[in-house]
Amino acid sequence: MKNYGYQNEKDFVALFNNKYFYELDDRSQSFIMELFNNEINNGEKIITWKNSINQKADILIKYGKFVKRVSLKSGNSNSIHCEQIQTFKCYLERLNIPYKIIEKYVSYHYGYKRDAKGHFDYSCQLSSYDYKELYQGEIDLFNASINKTRIMIDMIDRFLIRGNNSDYDIDALISGTVDDYVWILKYDLYDLILSKKNVYFTSPHISCLTIGPKKRCLNNNKNNIKDRYLVAIRWHNLKDDILEFRKLCRFPSSNKKTN
């Protein structure tokens, strides 16, 4: 199976590496100008390489004396972060989320139906849709507990900006391919996600980022069974959200009614 993420990284390295600024297309020139705060030197080449470590930054771009770290996402419903469920539970504990609230997420993650006494029926694993039909109130309690600014910022750092295996933040996130992409800078990512704090999802989520098992594996496919124990953070409509945010920032009065 073709690894589109890996190919996308190679394509972006090729797009920028060993190029002068004036050799780039208009979109890429605009990106480099924003990324390097308009410090452009037409006599110096841009150097780009793939990050050899599996971190949030997929590629690094050097221009002049600065090196910038960039995350790449190419899909329409991007998985932006994965980790073992036990690790995720420990992380929620460090955020001082009450144990009873954490267990409401764990129950959703595995999706087992419960009997009248609240005991799990391990022979009956529900789809996410069926689980929500029965236990949506519990998911809502979990969401209310984590959609607080302090917790959201910490989760943005973990899921998007820095991860849990790096001392360095990303400087920008690109969504798309070399033929059609948009981008957002680090601090704008915080503003974008926090601006959607009150968005409602039936799934566990912070803002526009949903939280759930990588795969429920209801058919017990041995090839996917390990995915049942992974928590996946997804950003649906990532590209559209970035486009909307950039438009609002560029034309802040565009939503105002005119007489």
Mean pLDDT across 148-173: 94
Tokens 């022979």 belong to 123
- Predicted confidence band of residue 257 (pLDDT cuts 50, 70, 90): very low
On the question of pLDDT at 256 being above 70, the answer is: no
With cut-offs at 50, 70 and 90, classify the pLDDT of residue 3: low
Sketch the domain layout of the chain as residue ranges. 4-75+165-191, 77-159+199-237
CATH number, span 4-75+165-191:
3.40.1350.40
**Please, which pLDDT band fits residue 255 given cuts at 50, 70 and 90?**
very low
Exposed/middle/buried for 104, CB within 10 Å: 0-12, 13-18, 19+?
buried
Average pLDDT in the 96-120 region?
A: 92
Contact between 51 and 57 under an 8 Å Cβ cutoff? The reply is yes
Which pLDDT tens digit goes with each residue over 8-39?
999 999 999 999 999 999 999 999 999 999 88
Q: Cα dihedral sign for 233, 239, 242, 248?
A: negative
Instruction: Say whether pLDDT at 157 is over 70.
Output: yes
